[in-house]
Amino acid sequence: MSLTISNEQLQAAATQYGTPLYVYHAEKITAQHQQLQKAFEGVYTRFFYACKALTNISVLKHIQSIGCNIDCSSINEVYLALKAGFNPEQILYTSNGIAFEEIIAAVEAGVSVNIDSLSNLEKFGKAYGSRYPVGIRLRPNIMAGGNLKISTGHNGSKFGIPLEQLDDILSLKNQYQLRINCLHVHTGSEIKDVDVFIKVADIFFDLVPHFQDLQVLDMGGGFKVPYQSNEKGTDIPLLAKKVGEVLNKFETTYGKKFQVWFEPGKYLVSECGYLITSVNVIKETPSVLFAGINSGFNHLIRPMFYEAYHHIRNISNPNGPIKNYAVTGNICETDNFAWDRPINEIRENDLLVIDNAGAYGFEMGSNYNSRFLPAQVLYKEGQMRLIRKRDTMEDILKNQIELN
């Protein structure tokens, strides 16, 4: 089965549902999950989909159906996961900077929790003591990841409890008899260098003697996917091999088997997603040739927010002569998807497809400029099915209160 969606199918979806439109390929998600499982066969691991990348309930249900677990970044995501059919044992809540009430709610839901501040850890100790196991999110002081905005492990980062405060963690652990069963580190997104994960394992290795209830080594997510044709993603088989070796070292040294958890977001859903847009205006100026499309950073913020590259194709004129375009959105401030990009000649009303748009696309979207969020479609078993309607004016006004 093909793991890409053909131009004809994308065109048909645009005709049926209009543009801008997000289309996600279910079998591509399945294939990414299988690649992980295959690479890590025989290595004691579990994978938790970091669902903040894409949370449409129908996508979550698909991910649940293929046997993947789920990692949540808010209590609302925990509730979505439960609604999608994950059982609490499959749900992990890795929090950052949250109110303690959300931790109480997560415990009541029966899910695993990673706590990332001494303050919440102390509140947890007072509330639960040893009655509920808990994970600790650590800050390892490692700089990694594609961009400072998505780098979370360095020594200026707000994420996790700094390693230097180990003594404070241990005194809370003793004071409240905390059952710390998991150590967690997520260094950031787009980590190509597998040694970053091994460095994290080395940090865990030295910490083991302090945590007698430890069972899980959670190395977070951040596997890189290729965005440009000459780019390579994280070498997953190499990572599996190295993690396998490291786990053996843990077992021989400590006489105990630890399970490694990973939280891939982008890796599972980035490549499955396409944003189909259509061209509103071609503007030829003396210096720049603009193609203005009917979307903007309110639908896909990654190029403007992270300087991310997304491949853009003209599926209406795939054999046209190549010209260089600034592909721009319609939001009233600088709003580029690409700056000086060779693309087959673009005409008004052509369909431009933005690839690799499954992760952090729709999810980071907004109604800025009072524009509608795109519709979403799931392509599964050869069928396109609507999984979210396009907004209407009613949605824009839904929670507004009109005073007279």
Binding ligand PLP by CB under 6 A: which of 5, 14, 36, 50?
A: 50
- Distance, CA of 142 to CA of 151 (rounded, Å): 9
Which residues ranging from 316 to 355 are in contact with ligand PLP (CB under 6 A)?
none
* 73 lines the binding site for ligand PLP (CB under 6 A): yes
Active site residue 51: no
CA distances from 36 to 13, 200, 261 (A): 30, 19, 12
Would you list the DSSP string of 37-73? HHHTTTS-EEEEEEGGG---HHHHHHHHHTT-EEEES
Judged by CB under 6 A, does residue 356 bind ligand PLP?
Answer: no
Out of 135, 140, 153, 264, name the contact with ligand PLP by CB under 6 A: 264
Cβ proximity to ligand PLP, 49 vs 128, nearer residue: 49
Residue 117 binds ligand PLP (CB under 6 A): no
> Chain centroid to CA 23: how far?
17
Positive or negative, the CA dihedral 89, 63, 116, 161 is positive
Amino acid in the structure at residue 195: D
Toward ligand PLP, which CB reaches closer, 263 or 335? 263
Q: Please name every residue paired with 114 in a beta bridge, in sequence order, or none if there are none.
A: 94, 135
User: 224 forms bridges with which residues in the sheet?
Assistant: none
Q: Which residues of 93-125 are buried (b: 16+ CB within 10 A; e: fewer)?
A: bbbbebebebbbbbbebebbbbbbbbebbbbbb
User: Which of 25, 33, 139, 186 is the binder for ligand PLP (CB under 6 A)?
Assistant: 186
Q: Is 197 in the site for ligand PLP (CB under 6 A)?
A: no
Residue in 19, 94, 294, 356 binding ligand PLP, rule: CB under 6 A:
94
Which residue, 73 or 277, has its beta carbon nearer to ligand PLP?
73
Among 223, 227, 250, 258, binds ligand PLP (CB under 6 A): 223
- 370 Ramachandran zone, left/alpha/beta (phi>0; psi -120 to 50): left
Shortest CB 29 distance to ligand PLP, Å: 13
Q: Does 267 bind ligand PLP (CB under 6 A)?
A: yes
Spatial distance between the Cα atoms of 166 and 163, rounded to a whole number of angstroms: 5
CB-CB contact of 99 with 77 (8 Å): no
Whichever of 168 and 363 has its CB closer to ligand PLP, that residue is 363
Nearer to ligand PLP, 222 or 292 (CB): 222
Binding flag, residue 358, ligand PLP (CB under 6 A): no
Strand spans (E) along 33-166: 45-50, 69-72, 91-94, 112-115, 134-139, 161-162
CB of 146 to ligand PLP, least distance (A): 9
Q: Is 268 exposed, middle or buried (0-12, 13-18, 19+ CB in 10 A)?
A: buried
| Strand 336-344 to 351-354 pairing | unpaired
Q: How far apart are CA 251 and CA 228, in angstroms?
A: 40
User: Closest approach of Cβ 351 to ligand PLP, in Å?
Assistant: 28
Considering the rule CB under 6 A, would residue 33 count as an interface residue with ligand PLP?
Answer: no
Considering the complex, what minimum distance in angstroms separates the CB of residue 34 from ligand PLP?
A: 17
Please identify which residue in 32, 189, 295, 376 interacts with ligand PLP, judged by CB under 6 A. 189
Q: Write down the least CB distance from residue 137 to ligand PLP, Å.
A: 7
* Nearest approach, Cβ of residue 94 and ligand PLP (Å): 4
Helix (H) / strand (E) element for 354: namely strand 351-354
Question: What's the closest the beta carbon of residue 178 comes to ligand PLP, in angstroms?
Answer: 20
Q: Which of 21, 39, 53, 107 binds ligand PLP (CB under 6 A)?
A: 53
Segment near ligand PLP (CB under 6 A); pick from 100-108, 170-178, 219-227, 231-239 = 219-227
The set of catalytic residues is 332
Contact residues for ligand PLP (CB under 6 A)?
A: 50, 52-53, 71, 73, 94, 186, 189, 220-223, 263-267, 359
